[in-house]
Amino acid sequence: MLNPLAKAGANEAGDDDLAGPLLFGIIMGSLHLLQGRVHFGYILGWTSLATLAMYWLLNQLAAGGEGIELYRCGSILGYCMLPMCLLAALVLFLPGGLVTGAVAAALVLWCASKATGQFMRCLPHAEGKRMVVAYPCFTLYTLYALLSVY
């Protein structure tokens, strides 16, 4: 997850927990609190709804009833939120405008590509479905970026 250009190994797909994603949500909310904004409810609410929506979508895309577990969806979405925590920290120091927008766009693409790659690794028979999975991931991380920047 930390290297945006590297591909994750096959052993990373089975290592799922929810402690890290919860910690990242709390860190992101705490960084927003330093800006004078209380967004804990938005972060945890959007994450919960996005996890349920991605769970439904991925199980609809799965062929033959071989879907993905709910905790794995939450784990992937939460761990891929790490660059959004970095954005929330950078917004404290970066001036607003074009620089912040460019950094936010790069970090959203990083999050969305990593989450999509993890989901595609977990889905059986996932050929040709990458953009269907990437669009909701991109939308979710764009919401987090907008929450951090504005």
Comparing C-alpha atoms, which of 128, 8, 143 is closest to residue 63? 128
Instruction: Indicate the residue type of 18.
Output: L
Separation CA 40–CA 25 (nearest Å) = 8
The tokens describing 72, both together, are 């794995």
130-150 mean pLDDT: 96
pLDDT tens-digit map of 88-132: 999 999 888 899 999 999 999 999 999 999 999 988 777 889 999
> In this structure, what are the phi and psi dihedrals at residue 123, rounded to the nearest 5 degrees?
-90, 130
Separation CA 48–CA 134 (nearest Å) = 18
pLDDT of residue 130: 93
Angle at 103 between CA 105 and CA 98, to 5 degrees: 90
pTM of the model: 0.90
Q: With bands split at pLDDT 50, 70 and 90, how would you rate the model's confidence at 62?
A: confident
Separation CA 58–CA 62 (nearest Å) = 6
